[in-house]
Amino acid sequence: MHIESITLKNFKKFTSKTIKFHQGLSLLVGGNNEGKSTILHALAVWEFCKTFLVINKGQGALQDMQHIDGVGLNIDEFTPINIPDLKYLWPNLKPGGGYNLSIRCDWKINNESKHLEISLALANDRLFVKTTDSNINTDDKIPVIAYLPPFAGILDKELWQYTAQRKKLIGQGLAGAVLRNTIIDMYINNQTKRKELKGDRPKIKNSDLATLRTTDPYEQLNAVLREIFNCELFPEKFNSDFHQYVHVNIKKGSHDVNGGFNLFPNYKARDIMTEGSGFLQWLSVYTYALNEEIDVLLLDEPDAHLHCSLQMLLVSKLQNFIEKNNKQILIATHSTEIIKNTPFNLIID
């Protein structure tokens, strides 16, 4: 599922603007303060408001309900992007009156056009959110967006979160707080698939194993980490009845002449947070790019911590994932290395 366009009214620097996106990869380029991040912020705010409405009023709140009062929140509850005050969502810090800020996303389901417009109002330092235009039905699939802001590291300790809570945090722009949770979820799904494929046989058939390695998100994630960083992920065993925190380790190894990967026998596993920022940047980007619950991934300067030799490799690997997993990825970047090596038709200036 892909978002075809976004229409903004009175959001930050845009008083009225429609931006169309490509089906797979879109590269948002331009100088400083020209609106690249603003477009990503708008999509992140739309996702947050969509999630907020569903949590507070149910799925029906996303249908056309102009006669229903909006749902209010304060600055402490507004998490998709960092702003010092809610009025910074409006042009020139002037909210005006009524629901005059709107964000509309358009997409298609089975060639049928769908849209959802969410509007915001500010009154007495509280932000009010409501649906102002929609043609979606109760059972319609709605794109799920995850926003990864410029990388700032991961938590040293990460609490276990159930699926509903993880979805909520990702929808609130807090994807970095559930990175290990997401990896462990991918790992558990992978182990379930392996068990089903093995059945009563002593091992998985070679043909089934080959298919699994090319299609399963956890297998794809480990494959790219082996290729680029010579390491593999090793999530620690977790039982929600006994454990409070989740842990994901890595082990390092080397490639042999036959193309295989062998772990160093005396290498002690260590937590992923001990690795460098470049590795963690890759891990974060690719974990969410491969997450089956996410349709659209927003990356704000994902190349910031990467050497120039890795910047284009980041994008080329993402393009492979897009083709395999039917994803949409929007990247805001200054990187001349990425821009000059990306087809012109994928660039939005």
Q: What is the pLDDT of residue 168?
A: 75
In contact, 325 and 216? CB cutoff 8 Å: no
* Confidence band of 239 (pLDDT split at 50, 70, 90): confident
What share of the chain has pLDDT > 90, as a percent?
52
Lowest-confidence region among 5-14, 289-298, 300-309: 300-309
Mean predicted confidence (pLDDT) in 11-36: 88
pLDDT at 196 over 90: yes
pTM: 0.87
Neighbours of 299 (CB within 10 A): 27
Q: What is the pLDDT of residue 171?
A: 67
Q: Which residues pair with 27 in a beta bridge?
A: 331, 347
Tokens standing for 182? 């997401």
**Which run of H or E residues covers position 208?**
helix 206-215
In contact, 278 and 307? CB cutoff 8 Å: yes
Cα–Cα dist 327/289, whole Å: 7
Q: Provide the residue count of the chain.
A: 349
**Mean pLDDT (the chain, rounded):** 89
- Report the CATH architecture of 1-144+295-348: 3-Layer(aba) Sandwich (3.40)
pLDDT at 150 over 80: no
What distance, in Å, lies between the first and last C-alpha atoms of the chain? 23
Cα–Cα dist 297/285, whole Å: 9
Lowest-confidence region among 57-61, 150-154, 244-248, 295-299: 150-154
Q: What is the pLDDT of residue 155?
A: 83
Domain ranges in the chain with CATH number 3.40.50.300: 1-144+295-348
Cα–Cα dist 36/228, whole Å: 29
pLDDT at 306 over 90: no
pLDDT at 89 over 70: yes
Q: What is the pLDDT of residue 201?
A: 92
Per-residue burial over 5-19, b if 16 or more Cβ lie within 10 Å, else e, is ebbbbbbbebeebeb
Q: What is the pLDDT of residue 67?
A: 63
Q: What is the pLDDT of residue 9?
A: 97
Q: What is the pLDDT of residue 308?
A: 77
Cα–Cα dist 169/314, whole Å: 25
Helix ranges (DSSP H) in the chain: 36-57, 163-171, 179-198, 206-215, 217-229, 277-290, 308-325, 336-340
Tokens standing for 218? 């956890």
Q: Is 107 exposed, middle or buried (0-12, 13-18, 19+ CB in 10 A)?
A: buried
Cα–Cα dist 165/349, whole Å: 36
Cα–Cα dist 6/19, whole Å: 5
Mean predicted confidence (pLDDT) in 64-76: 81
Q: What is the pLDDT of residue 66?
A: 64
| Residue of 165 and 183 predicted with greater confidence | 183
